[in-house]
Structure formats: C-alpha cells, structure tokens
Chains A and B, each alone.
Chain A
Amino acid sequence: MTAEMNWGGTNRLPNRGALIDRSRPVTFSFEGSLVEGFEGDTIASALCANGQWMISRSFKYHRPRGVLTMIGQDANTLVQIGDEPNCLADKRRIAPGLVVEGQNYFGSFDSDAGRFVEWVSKFLPVGFYYKTFHEKRSSWRFWEPIVRAMAGLGKIDPHAHHGYFDKQYLFADVAVIGGGPAGLAAAAEAAKAGGEVLLIDENPKLGGCLNYARFDESGEAACKADGELLNAVKAAGNIRVMSDAVVTGLFADNWIPVVRGNRFYKLRAKAIVVATGSIEQPAVFRNNDLPGIMLGSAAQRLIHLYGVRPGKRAVILTANDDGYAQAIDLLKIGSAVATVVDLRADPPQTALSKAVARAGITVHAGSAIAEAYHHGNKEHVVGVAVAPVAGEGQLSDPTASYECDLVLMSVGYSPAAHLLLQAGAKFAYSTASHMFEPREIPAGLYAAGSVAGQFNLDQVAAGGRRAGWAAARHAGGTVGAEPAEVSDPGAAQQTHPWPIFPHAKGGEFVDFDEDLKYDDLINGIADGFDNVELLKRYSTVGMGPSQGKHSAVAAVRIVARETGRDLAALTVTTQRPPYTPEKFGHLAGRIFDPERRTAMHHRHLELGAQMMPAGIWWRPAYYGPKAEREKAIREEVNAVRNDVALIDVSTLGGLDVRGPDAAEFLNRMYTFTYAKLAVGKSRYVLMTDQAGVITDDGVACRFSEEHFYVTATTSGVDAVYRSMLQWNAQWRLDVDVANVTAAYAGVNIAGPKSRQVLQRLCQDIDLSAEAFPYLGVREGTVAGIPARLLRVGFVGELGYEIHVPYGYGEALWDAVVEAGQPEGIRPFGVEAQRVLRLEKGHIIVSQDTDGLTNAWEADMPWALAKTKPFFVGGRSTQIMAKMPLLRKLVGFTLDDPALPCPEECHLVIKGGEIVGRVTSAVNSPSLGKVVGMAYVHPADAAPDSKIQIKIDGGRMIEGRVVKLPFYDPEGKRQEM
C-alpha cells in the first residue's frame, strides 16, 4: 500500500464514494487532532473514515453518540465549528483548516465528567422541571446553576461577527422539492408542458436514494433508473436545478423559503411537487444509541457516498427488504454480516433475502435485538443479544448473542411530510402500511414518491410523472393525457408496527436529542399527559433539534397503546417550520435598513452636525463636536433668540389637499374649523382618532379656496395620509389628497433678524409685518426658487418656513446661509428646536402625548371647534368632557437652582401613588432655569401647585406648576 492510498482514513474503501474527490485531500482538526479527508467529505464521514466514531455527547446524560442518519436529520452529530455552534457534522462538508470541537462535555471529550449524570438519572424524572419547580420557588435557586451548566448545546460566542448573508426572490411555474427518483421524474414530466421548472434538492448530487440504496442484488436497477431519470432532466431545457438547497417550510399561497449556503431564497411557485421522501426510523431497544448503531440507510450512505466502511462485522435488525440489501452491500465491501435479525415471524422470500441466504448468513426470523453491549466507556457497540419476539414489544429470553462493531436498524419509514403538513395536508395512519399517509392535499400541491407511500422504484417514477403532470396542468401548462393513478402495495412491507422493545434495565432511547427513554414516556402518560401534544411538552419528546423526526412516530405508538386508543385516530405532533435549523443570519440577510436623507444632508455633515434618527430620516441634532454638545445647543438657542438661525425642516410631513370639498374635508379630519380660514392664512391642526386620542398636529395653509397645504409630524405623516384616504373612501368628498413630503425641502429661518436676511432673497413678496403677518402664508420666489412661505411660531420668534421643490433644497440652504452672513446666521438642530419649542410650551405629539391622551388632558380645549357638526373623535371628545379628568399636562419649573433637570418619564408622585410623568424637560438657556412639561394630578394643575418628581436613584425633587408658555407669554416676538 502506498502512502497515498492511506490518505483519508483506515476505513476508506477503494472505488466507492460518489461525493468525494480523491484527487483533493483536505486536512482539518477535530478536538485538536488533525484529520485527513477528501473534498466532498462531511465532517462525520471523514471522522468515521479515521475510526473516530464518537462525534458528540448527548444532551442530558452526556452519553457518547455517533452517526445515526448521515443526512443531517438527527442531533447526534452536532458539533462546534469555531464560533458557530450546533453544526450538523453529517451535512457540513470539510474544508482545509476547519476547527471542529465536540459538544456537551465537561473536561475532556473522551472522559467527560458529566457522563456520571446518568448514574443519578432516577433523580431526573420525566417532567423534572414541572415537578421540581411547581411548588417550591426556592428550588430554582438550587437547580438553576446546575441546569444552566449542564443544558444547552454548543457555545455561543457573543463577539461573533454577522457574516455575509443575503436574500433573493425566485419564481417558477412548478417547483419540485426533492431530487430523488420521484422528483426527477416529476420535474421531467412537468417540463414537457413548457413552463419554468425548479428542482430543489438538499444534497450535492441529484438522485436521492439512487446514489446509495440497493434495489436488486447487482445494484443495476438503481444505476439504470438514475441514468434515465437524470438524462431526462438534463435534456429538458427548462429545468433549473438547485442542489445543496433546503426547503425549510411551505407557507400560504405556495411561498417557499429555500436556504442554500448563505443565501435565503423566497420562492413563489404556481404549483409544487413535494417529493421529500421518507425518514428511516430507528428501533427502540436497550443501548440503541451507542456509536456503531445506525440506520441502515446511514451505513449505505457512508459506503456509497463517502467510500467509508461503517464496520467490520455487522448485525442487521430489519423488518423489510432493505435490511437484506444492506447485508449485500456489506458483503460486497468485504465486511462480515454476523446475522440478520428480522422482526417479521415469516419474512417473505425475495430475490434479496434469497441472496443473503445463499451467502450463508443466519437469519433470526421473528426476533429482535434485546440489548446492545458496550465496554465501560460506552464508546462503541461491541455486541448484541438476540431474543424471539413473544408479542407486541415483548421478548422471550435471549437465545443468541453476537459480537459486532456495527448494528444496522432497518425497521421502517415515516414520510417526510413536514412541508405537506405545514401547507395544510391531512395525513392519517394506515393499518396496512403502518405509516402515516396523505389523505387530503391542498390544491396546487402534489406528492410523489415515498412521502406518498410509493416505494417500488417503478411506482415511484410513475408517481413522480403523475404529480409532475398534475402540477404543470395546475400551473396553466399544456399537458398531454393524464397518467394513471399510482398505488404501491409494496408499501405494506416497509414498516414494522412495533419496533419497540423495553428492557428490564432500561436504556431504550426513544428520543436521542432529549435523552428520553421508553420509561420516561410511560411515566409521563401515567402522570396524566396522555395526549400526544401534552406528552410532548411534558416530556420534551420531539422538542430537540431534530424535532421528532425519529421520535414522533414512536411516541404516538406508545401513547396509542398505553391509552388503548386506535392509532388511526391519532396524528403526529404538529410539524412546524423550519424543517432543518435556519440561522438568524439567513432571516436577517444583509440587514438592509432603509434611511431617508434630506436634500441638505451633505451640508449638515460639512458643518460638523451630529446626526440623529427621526423615524427613518436623519436629522442634525446639533452642530459641533460631541464633547461640546451642551455648549452647541445653548449657542444655537441663543442665535435664534437674539439674531438669526436656520434649520432644515424637510422631514416635516406635507399634504396637498385640493378640491371643492378641501375645507369641508379638513373640518372633518381635524378638531378646528377651516371653512372660513382666509386664503393666505394658516391655522393649527390637531387630529384625534375615533376614541378622541390625539394622533397628530401641524398647520393648514390655505393657498386658494380649493387648495390647502397641511403639515404633519415627521413620523406621523404616513399614518395621517393613510387615515385621510380611508375616511374619504367612505365619505366620497370631492377632494384629492397627495402626500408631498418627499417633494419638498424646507428651511425655517428664525430669529429677530430673519426678515432682513430673507429680504435679500425675496423680492416678489412684501415681507413687512403688515403685508405678511404672523400665521400668513405666501407663494413666491426665494433666491429665484419657487417657494411656499409660512410664518409659523414653533420656536417662538419671528420666522419664515420656506418650502421649495426637493431638488432646490441645497441651493436654498446655500442661498440663505450666504444672505445671512452679515447677521452671522448659523444653523440649528433638532435639540435646540426642542428647547425653543418647550420654552414656548408647544407639545410634540407622541412625546408629550401618549396612546391615551385626549384634548382635555393635553389642556387644549382651545383647539376644539364647538359649532361644526362633525370631526373624527368629536363625539368621544364630548363624552370625555363629562368624565372626571385623570391627569393633566402642565408646565413646571424647579425653583431650587441646585436641583438636577429631570428626564423624560421620571414619575410624578402624589401621596405615594404615581399620578403622572415628566414628558419633556430642559435647562432653558433663555430663561436660566429648568422648565418642562409633565402629567400631574388634576388637583395640582393650577399654577404654583407643588409637584413631587421622582428622579434617578429614587430621589424626590419638588417642582412648581407654571402657566404656559414659559417664554414670551404675549407672543410678541413671533408676531414682530
């Protein structure tokens, strides 16, 4: 033997391994040791090839576990790869330098201290959590550190970075899920109708069981079928194949999530063929979880897909022809088959069973494995005891025992029905096949292959063709004559009804993920949880990473028998998505957060603005370094109060309301009246919902009899707009509403010197106080740009809001900054604006109001029209006027200058009870003291009432209620 031939492990077989490339050796590490494999190997296949059969330790008892399925359907092979926990070692392909560690062990993987947990397992009964923590609260304190240390799977690295994940939409006429013989036949047939067919398979190579299973002694049947079916798929020009792709769920209207590598596809198909096959089920007997005991299909996968010898001497436990096929597989690679143990009392004579008999292998018919043996460390199976079956689940005394290093379980299947069930299909237990079979499948969805009870290779292909034909027809394709219906009587010979054999000494695992033994289920049922869904939650059967793929059917069988119910009347527990674990990264994708920037965004950055989010907009908070935040805000406030400053108000919502009914419409939507508002004037708008709760505010500007420009809050405008349209869908007024928020950029020039600055830019509007007074609105040009001008008083100084088409925003900003140089104009941000408006006592809806605030609580009855017939929320507002007020929004100040400024949501306390909270508070630069707004008890709402505010650390400070506004109560400055 040359050195080259030794590469890849001592268990490596020559001339086999459809998925590995022997010309490409790969080295990785497992538990610190270097492991040699080939490209195409999974971690598990490479480990098995090198004689490392134990791959992880179990969740609860830390028992050694090895490969069970070799297809990622179990939790036995969960490993840690760097910062990535819970990777499926039998799915993940090796790569150079991969660092793999086992999971669920203390100290060392080989001699885990935690394995002794099993010795005390009688103190960890089924329903442990419920029993232990139901009554004594203190017991959690004892158990918590123990449970937390023991439980859990891999280790999460809190510093792990978010890798690159993305998403893609896909569309198809027919999606075929599963690339085994049924799926291949379905895709080829569906493609004949000419539509787009998408064939999705989770494996790297199409063909499914044809790549590893044996249907005849020579193995030619699988080869022939594989060749024919693959050629038909390749020949069709309209089949797209997605390999290595897992469909993790099936949602309404044929919405299909597909995970492939780091990409998450959202597929929508007109029709779907589900050809997901079936899941081989383990037998339940003592020590059935030892490494070296695996499903028959797992051994075939090791041999044929990876060229790995699963064992030197095998015992095969079977109840179907597949067990005999596996015996032939083992013989062909030169392994010994110690015996075949057949659960069936009178196994049918088939070509395969005859071939096994010819090879001189002893067959124990009507027998089972009573127990598997191990050495002290339980690291591998070393032999089995065989006993005759005396009745359902009952064995006579063992009659033989065999030494072996491999036990195959080939006792039956359960349909991989997850996707069909999620889509609403109904499955029922068949007493003929001892499997759940589809009974009703929703329109547009078709099942083929073993998921639909078809096992014979010819029947599977025929079933695939029929499903493909039906799917193409449903998708609107032109199809030929309908293929005949398919039923496979051979399905009755696949699955044994009771491959469960409890042992006096226990240790018969029903659920490998959760370390649940036969007795745990029996005790759970005895505790009263005799419904399968209840038992699942109580015992956690089926709740592990493999989600009951191997335990759900056994659990249902046990429940049925223990409760004397008919299995046909039961169903397996709900099969929820995802079918296999999805990463959060798949769901998160590239974390695409849309954001909006105003036309002047880059000017703010150039000026050193600290930007802050406002809804999805970015706005300048203040201009200057973070270290000088307070100073910057104070100087910006002072500039507005004493000179002139400008702020970008582009994010403000804007709605154009036009039409003969425009005024009537606003009368209904807002609390004030607008019918008599003069053209060229604006008025405050306050919106309430049907319950009378304040939802938004702004101003309505009348530019003509039939045109209002209405502003709304940055974050509220979309909801306001939507609400307006919904109401008018009922009222049918002659009015058109357009959300023009994004169409306009806006600047507010504020301060006593704002008029003289604007005068330099605006020649076609008379800006004098007489011609363009406070609350006036005009249309004209500013710096040659067509503009809407609004004299509003949010910050309480002379000021002009200038709204121009978005594309002119930066030009307007530049022009105003340039024109204001003589006055030393400077920009101000949202923080300064909040201070300025608070000094003026203006509320911010959703900061100073909440989801319950009505106009009475907000102390805004002045905004309620008394004479109009209707406004949304009017009737509720009327009713609330008669009800006792529970709280009131007031202004307050702190008289003691030594007291700290309270923060938003600090509580207002009266007589030991919470009566309200602070909604806004600042150290006012203009007034030289703390001012704020707060909800207080109505009895304390009068000016000069004392209120108690609980600030950080539980300290109580005293505030004094002050009449609003704090600044310029006569409003002379804004009306200059």
Chain B
Amino acid sequence: MKIMNCPLNGPRNISEFVWGGEVKPMPDETKLSDREWAEYVFLENNTAGVVREWWCHVPTSYWFIAERNTITDEIVKTYPASEVFKSRVDFAGAKP
C-alpha cells in the first residue's frame, strides 16, 4: 500500500485518502457556450505525466493538492489547496 504525505497529518496509508479529481479551475460559466461547458464538466485531459489532483484525508476531511506522475504512480509532492487557490472567489451578476 502506498503512503501519501498529507500536508496536515503527515505520511499516512493511501487507504485513508480519497481522490477528488484533477485540479481544473472552474471557468466563468457565463462566458462559455453550452458545448464548452459540457467539455469542462465531462472531459478530462487524462495526461500521461505529472498531474495536479485533489486528495482528501478522510478521517480529518482535509482537502489538499497532490502532484502525481500517472505513468509511474509516484506522488511528487503534496501541499495545501491555498497555495493554488489564494483568494476568495465571487460570482458576479444574476443570470439572464
């Protein structure tokens, strides 16, 4: 069983974590066509190489980001989500 280094809890068995999908910052949904939105929701890059992913340490419900090589399954590094999402996100304006 692999070990993952949780930025909050340190190295733990991988069975304590759940995967939360690739990190893909949400585009401004008001500026996308229906097709572009559907592609954002349903299509993944499926990159062969280092990807940034959401992982959650289940016992503590702590979400963080891991960089993982999908070819070797090596976890390159892990860090708090705040290193990527640095400031508050707001949604402006009501939809038509």
Contacts and interface: CB of A to CB of B under 8 A. Distances in A.
B and A form one assembly? yes
A830 B37 CA distance: 41
B63 A879 contact: no
A879 B38 contact: yes
B48 interface: no
A868 B90 CA distance: 12
B61 A732 contact: no
Nearest to B65: A729
A668 B90 CA distance: 10
Contacts of B76: none
A722 B2 contact: no
Contacts of A733: 88
Nearest to B86: A732
A768 interface: no
B1 A730 contact: no
B43 interface: no
Contacts of B73: 252
Nearest to B72: A424
Contacts of B92: 869
A739 B82 CA distance: 22
B56 interface: yes
B9 interface: no
Contacts of A268: 3
A730 B81 contact: yes
Given A253-B3, A691-B42, A879-B38, A726 B95 contact: no
Looking at A722, A726, A870, A874, which has the most chain B CB atoms within 10 Å of its CB?
A: A870
B1 A253 contact: yes
A731 B88 CA distance: 5
B34 interface: yes
A725 interface: yes
A722 B93 CA distance: 28
B54 A726 contact: yes
Given A875-B29, A875-B37, A729 B63 contact: yes
Contacts of A869: 91-95
Given A721-B61, A726-B56, A879-B38, A252 B87 contact: no
Given A726-B56, A870-B29, A876-B37, A253 B94 contact: no
Contacts of B58: 722
A577 B9 CA distance: 31
Chain B interface residue number, banded: 20 to 34
B26 interface: yes
Interface residues of A, number: 29
A722 B61 contact: yes
Given A252-B1, A730-B89, A739 B63 contact: no
A2 interface: no
Given A252-B1, A875-B37, A731 B89 contact: yes
Contacts of A729: 63, 81-82, 85
B1 A255 contact: yes
B85 A722 contact: no
Interface in A678-722: 690-691, 721-722
Nearest to B1: A255
A772 interface: no
B49 interface: no
A491 B39 CA distance: 60
A632 B41 CA distance: 47
Interface in B46-91: 54, 56, 58, 61-63, 73, 81-82, 85, 87-89, 91
B16 to A, nearest CB: 13
Contacts of B82: 729, 732
Interface in A232-263: 251-253, 255
Contacts of A868: 94
A690 B43 CA distance: 13
Interface string B1-24: 111000000000000001010000
A739 to B, nearest CB: 7
Nearest to A728: B63
Nearest to B93: A869
B42 A732 contact: no
Contacts of B89: 730-732
Contacts of A875: 29, 32, 37
A867 B85 CA distance: 27
Nearest to A254: B3
Given A732-B87, A876-B41, A725 B63 contact: yes
Contacts of A252: 1-3, 73
Nearest to A721: B61
A691 to B, nearest CB: 5
Which of B26, B32, B58, B87 neighbours the largest number of chain A CB atoms within 10 Å of its CB?
Answer: B26
Contact of B94 (A721, A730, A731, A867): A867
A878 interface: yes
A255 B94 CA distance: 53
B34 A879 contact: yes
Interface string B25-36: 110010010100
Contacts of A721: 61
Interface string A147-164: 000000000000000000
A255 B15 CA distance: 12
A668 B93 CA distance: 13
Given A253-B3, A730-B81, A739 B61 contact: yes
Most chain B CB inside 10 Å of its own CB: which residue of A668, A726, A882 = A726
Nearest to A873: B41
Contacts of B54: 726
A203 B26 CA distance: 58
Given A722-B56, A875-B29, A690 B41 contact: yes
A701 B54 CA distance: 30
Contact of B26 (A253, A730, A867): A730
A266 B15 CA distance: 13
Contacts of B2: 251-253, 255
A739 B60 CA distance: 11
Interface string A856-876: 000000000001111000111
Contacts of B34: 879, 882
B61 A725 contact: yes
Contacts of A722: 18, 56, 58, 61, 63
A145 B70 CA distance: 45
Contacts of A739: 61
Contacts of A251: 1-2
A252 B37 CA distance: 38
A874 B26 CA distance: 13
A733 B93 CA distance: 18
Contacts of A879: 34, 37-38
Interface in A333-373: none
A970 to B, nearest CB: 33
A725 B64 CA distance: 10
Interface in A35-60: none
Nearest to B81: A729
A537 B41 CA distance: 40
Given A253-B2, A722-B61, A870 B56 contact: no
Contact of B95 (A668, A731, A878): A878
Most buried by A among B38, B54, B63: B63
A281 B4 CA distance: 40
A869 B95 CA distance: 6
A661 to B, nearest CB: 9
A722 B88 CA distance: 19
Contacts of B63: 722, 725-726, 729
Given A690-B41, A725-B62, A731-B89, 13 more contacts: A252-B3, A253-B2, A668-B91, A691-B42, A729-B81, A729-B85, A732-B82, A732-B85, A732-B89, A869-B93, A875-B37, A878-B95, A879-B38
Interface of A: 251-253, 255, 266, 268, 668, 690-691, 721-722, 725-726, 729-733, 739, 867-870, 874-876, 878-879, 882
Question: Which 10 A/B pairs are nearest by Cβ-Cβ distance?
Answer: A870-B91, A729-B81, A869-B91, A252-B2, A875-B29, A253-B3, A255-B1, A729-B63, A731-B89, A732-B88
5 contacts: A253-B2, A729-B81, A731-B88, A868-B94, A875-B32
